[in-house]
Amino acid sequence: MAKALIGYRSSDLLDPRQAADNARLRARVRELEALVLRLCAENDRLTAEVAEHGLREELQDLQEMQPV
């Protein structure tokens, strides 16, 4: 498996368009991972704020409205 991955990555050097596309995709994945971390932190902060103010019933109502 490792040989296959190494072989695939070294083939990027042969095709500059593929190498550029892979670099762009890796950058986009990093952006999306950062967004997920930011949204998780914001969600944790909001959940703590709701719990602090005793609005647990409203939180349950909101969760029931979430799409399945």
- The C-alpha atoms of residue 43 and residue 66 are separated, in whole angstroms, by 14
- The answer to whether residue 11 scores a pLDDT higher than 80 is no
What digits encode the pLDDT tens for the residues 32-54? 999 999 999 999 998 888 877 76
Residue 1: which pLDDT band, with cuts at 50, 70 and 90?
Answer: low
Proportion of the chain above pLDDT 90, given as a percent: 37
- Structure tokens that stand for 60 in this block: 């349950």
- The answer to whether residue 17 scores a pLDDT higher than 70 is yes
Whole-prediction pTM value?
A: 0.57
Per domain, the residue ranges of the chain are: 25-68
Give Dmax (Cα) for the chain: 60
